[in-house]
Amino acid sequence: MGSEFVALSLPPLLIGTLAAMACALPGNFLLLRRQALIGDAISHVVLPGIVVAFLVTGTIATLPMLAGAACAALLAVAMIEAIRRLGRIEAGAAMGVTFTTLFAAGVLLLERSDTSSVHLDVEHALYGNLESLIWLDATGWASLTDPAALAALPPELIRIAAVFAVVAIAIAAFWRPLKLATFDEGFAQSLGLPTAAIGLGIVTLAALAAVAAFDAVGSIIVIAMFICPPAGARLMTNRLERQIAWSLLFAALSAIAGYVIAGYGPIWAGFSASVSAAGMIATISGLILAWAALAAPHRRA
C-alpha cells in the first residue's frame, strides 16, 4: 500500500491541499473587502489569458502563463469600465458579463487551436488534471528522502508549494497594514498607508494563487476555494487570526476528503468508476460552508 500511495495518491493530495489553501488565504481578505466576486473573476479570466500566452509562446511555462493571465485581467478591468460607462450598467452585472464572456472566448480559442501537444483542453480548464499528477519515481515512503526520486516530483507540486509559501509569507509579513486597511480604509489613509497598493497587492496574490492552482486543479476548485473556506471560517470565530486558521483547515479538509471520496466513494457505493476529484473537492467545500451556516458558533442572528 505504501509505495502505491506515495506514487499515485500523495502528490495529488498534496497538490490539491496546497492549491486549496493558496486560494483560501487571499480569499479571506477578498471576502472581508466585499470583493469575493473578484476571486471568481480572476479564475475565469485566467483561461483566455493562458490560452493566448500558449499560442504566442508555444509553452506552458509558469512565467508566460502568469503574464497572459495578467494581460487578460487588465483587459477585463478595461472591459468592465467600458461596459459601465458606455452601457450605464451596474458594476456587478458588468463584471459578470465580462468574465463569462472572456471565459467563453477562452473555451472557443482552446477548441480552435492545436493544443494536442500539451495538456491544455476545455475539460482540463474546468477540472484540472489532479488524478494524473503522479510521482512515477516513487517506490515508497523512503523516496521522500531520496534526492533522485524527489527530482522527479510533478513540477505542479513544486510550483503550487512555492506559490502557497509566497502568498502565506506576504500575508504574514504585511499582516498589520493589511488588516488595518481592510477594516478601515479611511483611517489607514489618514496614517499614510498606501491603501490602493495594498488592495492591488491582495488581488495580485489572489491572481498568483489562481494561476498556479488553475494549472493543477482547474477553475472549479479555484472559484470554490476563494469563497467557501473563508466564508465558512468567518462563521466559526470573531477573530481574523482564527478565521484564517479555520479557512486553511476547511480548505485542506475539502481537498483531502474530496480527493478520497472522489476516488473511492463511488466504488464503495457500488459504481465501477471514480468521479472527478476537482468536482468533489469543490462540492465538499460547499457542504462545509452549508454546515457552518447551519451550525457554526458565530452565525449572524
Partner 1 sequence: MSLELATRDGARIAEDLGRSPLALRGLTVSYGGEAAVFSTDMTVAPGAMTAIIGPNGAGKSTLLKAALGIVPSLAGQVTFWGQPLQTARARIAYVPQRASVDWDFPTQVLDVVIMGLYRELGIFRRLRARHIARAMDCLDRVGMRDFAERQIGQLSGGQQQRVFLARALAQEADLYLLDEPFAGVDAATEAAIIAVLKDLRDAGRTVVAVHHDLSTVETYFDRVFLLNRRPVAEGTVAAAFTQDTLQAAYGGRLNEGALVGTA
Q: Determine the Cα–Cα distance for residues 264 and 46; give it in Å rounded to an integer.
A: 31
Q: How many residues bind partner 1 (CB under 8 A)?
A: 26
Residues ≥6 apart with Cβ < 8 Å to 154: 11, 15, 133, 134, 135
Q: Is residue 136 part of the contact set for partner 1 (CB under 8 A)?
A: no
Binding mask 138-177 for partner 1 (x = CB under 8 A): -----------------------------------xx-xx
Q: Determine the Cα–Cα distance for residues 66 and 60; give it in Å rounded to an integer.
A: 10
Please say whether the beta carbons of 33 and 26 come within 8 A: no
Q: Determine the Cα–Cα distance for residues 251 and 27; give it in Å rounded to an integer.
A: 11
Q: Is residue 90 part of the contact set for partner 1 (CB under 8 A)?
A: no
Q: Is residue 117 part of the contact set for partner 1 (CB under 8 A)?
A: no
Q: Is residue 36 part of the contact set for partner 1 (CB under 8 A)?
A: no
User: Which 171-230 positions form the footprint of partner 1 (CB under 8 A)?
Assistant: 173-174, 176-177, 179-180, 182-184, 186-187, 189-193
Q: Residue 96, exposed/middle/buried by CB under 10 A (0-12, 13-18, 19+)?
A: middle
Q: How far is the CB of 171 from partner 1 (least distance, A)?
A: 12
Q: Is residue 118 part of the contact set for partner 1 (CB under 8 A)?
A: no
User: Which 237-256 positions form the footprint of partner 1 (CB under 8 A)?
Assistant: 237-240, 242-243
Please say whether the beta carbons of 180 and 193 come within 8 A: yes
Interacting residues toward partner 1 by CB under 8 A: 32, 34, 173-174, 176-177, 179-180, 182-184, 186-187, 189-193, 234, 237-240, 242-243, 300
